[in-house]
Amino acid sequence: MQHLLNFKSWTPQQITKIIDIAIDAKNNPKKWRNTLDGKTLCMIFQKTSTRTRVSFEVAMTQLGGHAIFLDWRATNFAIADIQDETRYLSRNVDVIMARLMKHADMKAMAEAATVPTINGCDDKYHPCQALADLMTIKEKKGKLAGVKLVYVGVHNNVCNSLIEACTKTGMRITTVTPIKHPPAHDPELIEDAKKTGLYETTLDVKKALKEADIVYTDTWVDMELFTDPKFKEEKEKRIKQMMPYQINAQLLKGSSALVMHDMPIHRGYEISPEIINAPNSIIFDQAENRLHSEKAILLTLLNKI
């Protein structure tokens, strides 16, 4: 049984296969209809979501299965042992997807689960997002190997999963991350990426963007902290420090890079409004592809491919 918590135990072949299945699921939806007949996905959310919730639920519907949405605060996960609750869930559902605050809890859940468990984004990783991102890049560029992605923003969970996914599939990735979000700290992941020779980091954003095929950005403040009054001071500090790195027309002058953002977008902060709808923006294709890549994840973990 395989889980998807991050890409540490995933081979390059497994990652590229999931991406190819996702593209096939998008182009040939009828072929996959009813593949998950009678299967149930339980989706548990400790944090807010639009895309992750919608894409997984629609994926299950279109594959002939069923998805249950659980708001953590309305369940007994909130008052009981996470492993006891997960053991119970495994007796009734076929696969679990959870968006939790802490990766330690995600790991505890996977340890207790007797069905495949999917990380729907925690403080360290967002592997489902990275798979949709690479699917989108493969669609647009026809390949992954050799494509150069430049990530400009705060080094966070999305950044970690991109580094892992890109370096495992032969893409080149440069990060421009003046701020590192402490919970995302993963020195082992960075060491592994460095060994591939495909990863580098710099603060020279102009130079990094010169050879970029893709420029990618994300929120400067994690979703659970965005409106938290306790994080207000840190948020204002980050905005001041990150503004020179905003993805805007001036920064992208002379660049033909495709623009990506995993959404939700904070307009006027990490990206300027005119870039969101610019011809080179593939942000909404990327967001749509969450649906197709969630299908590929479910089909893979439930041994249907």
What does the binding site for ligand CP look like in residue numbers (CB under 6 A)? 49-52, 121, 129, 262-264
Phi-psi region of 303 (alpha: psi -120 to 50; beta: other; left: phi over 0): left
To the nearest whole angstrom, how small is the minimum distance from the Cβ of residue 225 to ligand CP?
Answer: 13
Enter the tokens of residue 278: 């610019």
CB 43 within 8 A of CB 70: yes
Query: Using DSSP, how many helices (H) and how many strands (E) does the chain show?
Result: 12, 9
Q: For ligand CP, which is the closer residue by CB, 35 or 45?
A: 45
| d(C-alpha 206, C-alpha 204), whole Å | 6
Describe the strand order of the beta sheet including 214-217 as a list of residue ranges: 199-201, 172-180, 148-155, 214-217, 258-261
CB of 200 to ligand CP, least distance (A): 25
Q: Is 199 exposed, middle or buried (0-12, 13-18, 19+ CB in 10 A)?
A: buried
What kind and span of H or E run contains 151? strand 148-155
φ, ψ of residue 55 to 5 degrees: the values are -65, -40
**Contact present, 96 and 42 (Cβ < 8 Å):** yes
CB closer to ligand CP out of 35 and 62? 62
Smallest distance, ligand CP to C-beta of residue 191, A: 26
Q: At 173, phi and psi to the nearest 5?
A: -135, 130
Q: How far is the CB of 62 from ligand CP (least distance, A)?
A: 18
| Distance of closest approach, residue 31 Cβ to ligand CP, in angstroms | 27
Q: How far is the CB of 34 from ligand CP (least distance, A)?
A: 26
- Choice between 122 and 186, CB closer to ligand CP: 122
Q: Which is nearer to ligand CP, 99 or 168 (CB)?
A: 99
Kindly state the smallest distance separating residue 275's Cβ from ligand CP, in Å: 18
Nearer to ligand CP among residue 94 and residue 218 (C-beta): 218
Residue 9 or 50 with smaller CB distance to ligand CP: 50
| Residue 65: both structure tokens together | 């299965």
Our CA dihedral for 12, 18, 24, 29, rounded to 10 degrees, sits at 180
Identify which of residues 50 and 76 has a Cβ nearer to ligand CP in the complex: 50
